[in-house]
């Protein structure tokens, strides 16, 4: 390849969130992440403006199984005449196959702390509203695969679990354009807190991206924020990428220190909305609403609690 393959961001809004998908203009075109059910319909005119057609998309590359990334997959697959191959890590595939998997994930993690009797019903309603259809993926990956996008263009799959068990990064080989979905959280997006279910895996994934994958351009799944609250744009250059990975590791280290202190003392139930992790919110100066979905505060703290129980 002498010329880089062009990457075009496709942005769709969803409540407080900006959802980023990307069109990879390869001979067999790809779209990375699909937003929610209504997102693909807005992608068609955006591609038309580029002189491309959504029905020609041949790859749907999903970074992980959360509803704001897989919600549009079935609708987009239909727009391609069901010809696109739909790729997801096997560990997150249940989230594409079944809306009920999203409710199960809620109950097993953040739902334990939210004291919301309607919580699971709300997640079920959200899954109904924003997942365009349950479907079987075409290609299951585990990391290490190389996907051929025609004309010698290839995309490498890197397993970067932590945000979810099946989070992956896709790298356009040769030009190191890397799509990480939500595997790089910096200081979090709209909720102001980084979200991951497995802290050790999250840290390892960030280190791997920094030292081995080394993106030249990094494409995030949302406008994640720096320590001072300023959000990153839709594409990060090499210097911004190093900064975002360093800040992500620093943020994890701070959360880990506060979480481990709290867990060592024994988490205590209280009237605090952060209960039983109120000392963690205090130590970090976190004042965000911990109940706002997707509730990264409780998702992440539950991850440290599970890790703590495995090691003591
Ligand atoms: Zn996510």
What tokens were used for 197? 């279910």
> Cα(243) to centroid of ligand 1, in Å?
21
> Considering the domain boundaries, does residue 164 fall inside one?
yes
Identify the CA nearest to 176 among candidates 145, 144, 154. 154
> Considering the domain boundaries, does residue 175 fall inside one?
yes
Q: Give the count of beta carbons closer than 10 Å to the beta carbon of residue 163.
A: 30
| Separation CA 178–CA 216 (nearest Å) | 8
> Cα(1) to centroid of ligand 1, in Å?
32
> Cα(182) to centroid of ligand 1, in Å?
5
What tokens were used for 23? 């069109």
Per-residue pLDDT tens digits for 231-281: 999 999 999 999 999 999 999 999 999 999 999 999 899 999 999 999 999
Phi, psi of 6 (to 5 degrees): -75, 145
Return the pLDDT at 2: 57
> Considering the domain boundaries, does residue 265 fall inside one?
yes
Return the pLDDT at 3: 79
> Considering the domain boundaries, does residue 215 fall inside one?
yes
> Cα(295) to centroid of ligand 1, in Å?
11
The contacts of residue 243 (CB under 8 Å, 6+ apart) are 226
> Cα(294) to centroid of ligand 1, in Å?
9
> Cα(203) to centroid of ligand 1, in Å?
16
Per-residue pLDDT tens digits for 24-33: 999 999 999 9
pLDDT confidence bin for 13, thresholds 50/70/90: confident
> Considering the domain boundaries, does residue 1 fall inside one?
no
> Cα(219) to centroid of ligand 1, in Å?
14
Q: Residue 28 in contact with residue 150, Cβ under 8 Å?
A: yes
> Considering the domain boundaries, does residue 148 fall inside one?
yes
Total count of domains within the chain: 1
Return the pLDDT at 312: 65
Return the pLDDT at 190: 85
> Cα(66) to centroid of ligand 1, in Å?
5
> Considering the domain boundaries, does residue 31 fall inside one?
yes
Q: Which domain holds residue 53?
A: 7-311
Per-residue pLDDT tens digits for 149-198: 999 999 999 999 999 999 999 999 999 999 999 999 999 998 899 999 99
> Cα(119) to centroid of ligand 1, in Å?
18
> Cα(232) to centroid of ligand 1, in Å?
17
CATH number, domain at 258?
3.60.15.10
> Cα(165) to centroid of ligand 1, in Å?
11
> Cα(64) to centroid of ligand 1, in Å?
7
Per-residue pLDDT tens digits for 101-151: 999 999 999 999 998 999 999 999 999 999 999 999 999 999 999 999 999
Q: How many residues appear in the chain?
A: 312
> Considering the domain boundaries, does residue 121 fall inside one?
yes
> Cα(211) to centroid of ligand 1, in Å?
23
Query: Model pTM greater than 0.95?
Result: yes
> Cα(2) to centroid of ligand 1, in Å?
34
């Amino acid at each position: 390849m002498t010329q880089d393959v062009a990457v075009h961001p496709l942005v769709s809004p969803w409540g407080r969130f900006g959802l980023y998908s990307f069109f990879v203009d390869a001979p067999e075109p790809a779209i990375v992440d699909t937003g929610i059910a209504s997102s693909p319909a807005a992608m068609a005119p955006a591609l038309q403006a580029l002189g491309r057609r959504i029905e020609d998309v041949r790859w749907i590359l999903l970074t992980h199984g959360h509803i704001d990334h897989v919600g549009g997959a079935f609708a987009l697959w239909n727009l391609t005449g069901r010809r696109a191959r739909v790729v997801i890590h096997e560990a997150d595939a249940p989230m594409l196959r079944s809306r009920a998997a999203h409710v199960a994930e809620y109950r097993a993690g953040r739902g334990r702390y939210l004291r919301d009797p309607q919580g699971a019903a709300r997640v079920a309603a959200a899954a109904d509203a924003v997942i365009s259809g349950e479907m079987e993926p075409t290609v299951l990956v585990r990391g290490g695969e190389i996907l051929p996008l025609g004309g010698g263009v290839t995309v490498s799959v890197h397993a970067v679990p932590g945000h979810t068990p099946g989070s992956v990064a896709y790298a356009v080989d040769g030009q190191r354009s890397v799509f990480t979905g939500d595997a790089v959280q910096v200081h979090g997006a709209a909720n102001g807190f980084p979200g991951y279910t497995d802290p050790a895996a999250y840290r390892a994934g960030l280190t791997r991206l920094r030292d081995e994958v080394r993106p030249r351009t990094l494409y995030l799944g949302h406008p994640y924020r720096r320590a001072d609250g300023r959000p990153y744009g839709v594409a990060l250059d090499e210097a911004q990428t190093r900064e975002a990975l360093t800040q992500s590791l620093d943020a994890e280290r701070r959360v880990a220190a506060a979480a481990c202190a709290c867990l060592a003392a024994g988490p205590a139930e209280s009237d605090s909305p952060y209960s039983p992790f109120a000392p963690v919110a205090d130590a970090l100066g976190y004042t965000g609403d911990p109940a706002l979905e997707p509730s990264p505060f409780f998702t992440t703290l539950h991850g440290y609690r599970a890790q703590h129980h495995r090691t003591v």
